[in-house]
Every structure is written in structure tokens, then in C-alpha cells.
Structure 1
Amino acid sequence: MRIPSSPRHMQGLSLIELMIALVLGLLVVGAAIGIFMSNRQAYRATESIGRVQEASRVAFEMMSHDIREAGGNPCDKGTPVANVLNGAGAAWWSNWVDGIRGYDDGAAAPFGNAPAPVRVAGTDAIELKSGASGGVNVTAHATGGAQFTVNTVNHGFETGDIAMVCDGRQAAIFQVTSADSGTSNTVEHAEGGGSPGNCTTGLGVPLLCAAGSVKKTFGPNSTMVRMYATAWYVGTNARGGSSLYQVRLNGGAPQAQEITDGVTDMQITYREGGAYVAAGAVANWANVTAARITITLQSLENVGPDGQAVQRQLVHTVSLRNRNA
């Protein structure tokens, strides 16, 4: 029978061997943590870049739509237009012919004032005007009562809207003084009517905002659409950063809507003739056929290799559909 070894002959790990094992274990754990942190940083950076690219895609798609439609109306672009809206000069509703207008850094804000949030210094802005797609057909026009009858009660016009009517020979821009979409198929354009209001019920050319104004009857199959004005600019946001904002209105005071966070700069040049020039160098906005937009975006987290935010600068060129046909 074999007798087990006595305890004094049994051996275990020495202190030195245990310390070596602990050091090796710590090295393995440290390497694993380093790989994990590196992968985590790479993931955050990739995610941030993806968000920047997605934000730029959304911004460019929405801006491109507005720019392509700038200056559009249901009639020929050379049709004479009688704008009977009150006001002149710098009032944003006074000029729908240009369709597009740019503002260099430091220039006046769109619509003649600065809607909140405040525009970031050194950035460009753009103002666009066009007719809505679709529209309705006029079936009758009573010039004495300043009232249109259209082909549907679901015409989409409401009191205070700015609208255009045209028949191929002439167009007129006016403010709707009474309409109730979904209930009535009549749209009125009486004198006055709020802000800005109509200077006359006569819609003919030459425009005379006084007694004896030219009466123009728009016959059956004339087209009527709502008119829109849209502006894009970079403004400060409530989180201490800056964002791309859209201001879209038909009448009333401008209201800014935040579209994309992380936009730090926007620069725009315009093609007039064969060259792209800054807004201040455009001689005639009615001759602008395209806009080139350069947007700078940055990630909301400092995930770059140097501990800074990731930045991307993207360029997009958009042609005005109504001037390149």
C-alpha cells in the first residue's frame, strides 16, 4: 500500500510565480480593454460621420426642392404680372418675379428682417419664391364682386393666403380676402384684406392702385395657385450650437423651423451667364439659373482622432427647373 506524500513534500506556486501570472493577466486585460476602447471610439466616429452625412442628405434634398421650384408659376415665365399686394421696396411680398435672391455674409436677412433664431455671422442665406404645384381651375370671375369661382370646394385656399391667377396672357398676384376650403368653391380678392392686403380689386396691367384701376377678367380654364416664399439660413440653436433653418410662409410673420443640427457654415454662389458668382455680384436675379451650395457640418460629439469634432464640407449644385427648360 502506497502512503501519500507528507505535506512538507507538496509544492505550490511561489510568490514570484504568482506575481508574474498577475502581471501577464493584467497585460492581457489591458490589451483587451485597449482594443475595446479603440473599437468603441471607431464606432462612435463612424456613427457620427453617418449622422453628419444623413443630416447633409436631408438638408440638400429639402433645399434642392425649393431651389428647383424657384420662380415657378403655372404660366409662361414671360407673362406680364400685376402684383396688387400693398407695399413696395424691400417688402418680401413685393417682388415675385426674381424667384431667387441670395444674401452674402453680413448682408440683410431674408424677408427684410431677422427671424429668430439669429443668423450666424459669416454665413450666407437664400430666399426663394414660387407657386405651389397643382392648383385649381377658374370657372368664373366676377370682377365687380372681386370673386373667383373655382372647380372644387377642396381648393386649399384660406383667408390671408397669397395667390396667383393666370390665363396665358397675363398673371396677377393678390391676397385672398375670403375663402373656406372644403365648404365653398369661391375665392375673393377684395381691396384691403389685412397684411399686406390688396391695393385694388383690378387685376389688369398696367397696374394702377387707385380709382380707375384696370379690370381684368380671368375666364374659364384660368389657373390659380398658392404662392410660397422660403428662406434657408444657418442660425444659433438653444443648445449652444448652430443649425440649418428653413423659413416657409405664404403670409404673415416668418417662422423658422430647425432642419439639421450641427451645421456651422453655408456659402452659396449663383450661376449668372456662364460663371458662378457671390450674391453681391449678381446683376439680375431673374437671370440666375443655378445655385452652388457649400455646407460645413460637424459631429455633435468630440470623436475625431485628435479629440475634436468630426467635420465634413459638402458641395451641391442645383439648377432652377423653370429657367433651364
Structure 2
Amino acid sequence: MTMRTPLSLRHQQGVGLVELMLAMVLGLFISAMALEYFLASRSTLNTTSAVSYLQESARHTTRRLQPLIRNTGFSGCTDSSSVSDGTGSHALSETPLAADTETVAGITYDRLAMQVPLLGSQRGWQVSTAVAQGDTTIAVSDYTSGTLDTDSFVLISDCESGDIVRLTGDSSNSLSLASAVEHGYGGSQQTQAYVYPIQRWYLLLDQEDDDSPVRLCLNLEDVDGDPEAGCGEEVARYVEGLDITFDTASGSGSSATFEVERSVAEIEADDDWGNVRRIHLSLALKTPPTVNVAGEDNGELQRTFDITLSPRNIGL
């Protein structure tokens, strides 16, 4: 007896065109949703990475500049206006803080110059014997020959006055000066004088070549009192702009009043560097080419960070 396949089963063999097209449409729809989710996730990740990069660059800039700017103008326990600068070649002969307008890679900014003592583990050497006005040699306690370089600079200061001088040589517990001090110091008397090593730092922009990013740099000065060439220490890169303004104070104590957001030109016009109380840095940064952010100009995310720092005792 011959077995026959039911007609209903014979009609269900294979996949029909309608079913095939429906499956393809559903598959493409699911694939499109998955791809859209992947692209959105990658875009979010790239944006998060870009913002984190910029924020970390701004945080590093703040951490690095804070001790320098805070100690700018430190002059012991005397007013910085009572300190004489006998070096003869410094750009900061009248003030521990100054700025000059420069242009780098089309960015016009104010190059900041700062006189900063080395206040790390070495906080100065005590003057061990009296120093008279016009002396070119000073005796100090616990100083070891060779600790300071020849042609480096030191600040001699007590609570009444100070001198900035260049060294010509040293020996144990003694320093030789290139110029005579303009003030006398009492040695072991009640108003004690100390010697602090100091440096002149420049906050500036630099670009190695036309294809390189603009960098925010810290440079020491050269022997002529100008910034050393190149980028001595890179603080941030991919800089798009740097704007520096200042708050100055007049009066003293509770009666002091502040003028906010004064430019370098306004400070110079009034010769008011000694009254600077806050320094505002507006730093514009962009992401490197390796971080591509969708929807941004050329894939580069840009943010501007406002940083406010206060010098320690300029005009104290």
C-alpha cells in the first residue's frame, strides 16, 4: 500500500519569497539598531575621553603654576618694594612680576615673568655676621661650597629691606657677590637676615614648527635676563589661546578695595604691579588629532578654563 504525503505538508516545504524578504527586513532593522547603538556609544566614549583629557590638562596646569605664582614676589618678611635689584640686566629690576605681549602661531598673549625663590627643602641660609652697606661678601651659616651655581641669583632679606644680587663665587659658609649690597643687615641681631636662592620663570607659548601643536611652557631666564630658547618645561599642549588679567588692591586691611579684571596694559599704565593680588588665566585648549569627537569642528573639542591664583606677598 502506497503512503501519500498530505497536501498541507507538501505546501510547507522551503521558504517563500515573502518570508525571506520579511526576515531580511527584520535583520537589517536589528542590525541598524545595533550599529546606531554602537556608534552612539563610541561617540559618547570619545567625547568623555576628550573632556577628561582637557580637564586633566587644566588640572595639571593649575597644580604646576600654583606654587610658582603663589611664591612670586616672596621677599622674606619685608615688603617687595623695599628690595633693591643690583643685577643690572633683569627685566624685573623694578618688580617681581611683569608681562610682555607676544605672538606665537597667530595667538597673541601676554608672556608672564615671575621672580620666585626656591622654597623647597632649602628655605634659605642665615646670615651669620653683620653685613654693611657696600659689602660684596656675606657670611652664612650651614652653607656648603658648590650648592649654588656661579652667576645664579640670591635674595638677602630681613624684615626691613632686601637685596637681589648675582653670585660670582662661593666657599663654605661664604658667598661672593657681583655687586655691592645697598642695605646693611644686622647678622645675629634681633632682626635676622636670610639668603634665599631665586629664579626668574617665564610662562610663555612655544611652537617647534608649523606642524607642531602650540605648547604652554615654563622657561628659566638666560644670562641676559631673557627667556631661554625653546620649551624648558611643557605644562600643556594644543593651546588655542591664553589671556591673563589681574586684580589689584588699593588701601590696606578691611579698607582695601579691589579693581577686577585689569589688563597688562592697564597695570603698566599705572605702574601698579606691586598691588596685584590675584592673577586670572583664561586658557583655551583643544583635543589632539588622535581623539576625534563627532559633531565638532574637524573633530576637535575645545574648552576654555579659568584659573585664578594669588601671589604670596607682593606689596605685603
Scaled by the length of structure 2, the TM-score of the pair is 0.77
The equivalences for 1:114-125 within 5 A come to 118=104, 120-125=106-111
Deviations 1:1-34 (A, max 9, x none): 9958499936121244223312321221122112
From 190, 197, 200, the equivalent of 1:229 is 200
- Distance in 2 between the 1:271 and 1:149 partners? 38
From 241, 255, 264, the equivalent of 2:240 is 264
- Distance in 1 between the 2:2 and 2:71 partners? 100
Alpha-carbon contact 1:167-1:219 (below 8 Å) kept: no
Deviations 1:230-272 (A, max 9, x none): 1212332555322211113485762522211122101111123
Which structure 2 residue ranges, 5 or more long, are not aligned? 250-257
Please identify, of 159-168 and 29-38, the stretch whose mean Cα deviation from structure 2 is larger: 159-168
Partner of 2:187: 219
Which structure 1 residue ranges, 5 or more long, are not aligned? 107-117, 191-197, 206-215
From 38, 41, 45, the equivalent of 2:40 is 38
Alpha-carbon contact 2:72-2:114 (below 8 Å) kept: yes
- Distance in 1 between the 2:6 and 2:131 partners? 121
- Distance in 2 between the 1:80 and 1:44 partners? 54
Superposition deviation, residue 71 in structure 1:
0.8
From 74, 77, 90, the equivalent of 1:75 is 77
- Distance in 2 between the 1:2 and 1:223 partners? 120
Structure 1 residue 294 corresponds to structure 2 residue 282: yes
Superposition deviation, residue 224 in structure 1:
0.8
Partner of 2:304: 313
Alpha-carbon contact 2:75-2:162 (below 8 Å) kept: no
RMSD, matched Cα: 3.2
Structure 1 residue 160 corresponds to structure 2 residue 136: no
Superposition deviation, residue 147 in structure 1:
4.7
Partner of 1:204: 182
- Distance in 2 between the 1:4 and 1:186 partners? 119
Scaled by the length of structure 1, the TM-score of the pair is 0.75
Structure 1 residue 85 corresponds to structure 2 residue 87: yes
From 199, 202, 217, the equivalent of 1:245 is 217
Tell me: CA distance 1:287–1:217, structure 2 relative to 1, closer, same or farther (3 Å): closer
Alpha-carbon contact 2:247-2:278 (below 8 Å) kept: yes
From 175, 178, 184, the equivalent of 1:188 is 175
Partner of 2:99: 102
Partner of 2:293: 303
Alpha-carbon contact 2:282-2:305 (below 8 Å) kept: yes
From 50, 54, 59, the equivalent of 1:52 is 54
Please identify, of 74-83 and 121-130, the stretch whose mean Cα deviation from structure 2 is larger: 74-83
Matched residues, number: 286
Alpha-carbon contact 1:160-1:175 (below 8 Å) kept: yes
Deviations 1:193-246 (A, max 9, x none): xxxxx2x3x3134xxxxxxxxxx4662452111111112123325553222111
Superposition deviation, residue 119 in structure 1:
6.4
Secondary structure in 2 matching 1:264:
strand
- Distance in 1 between the 2:2 and 2:114 partners? 101
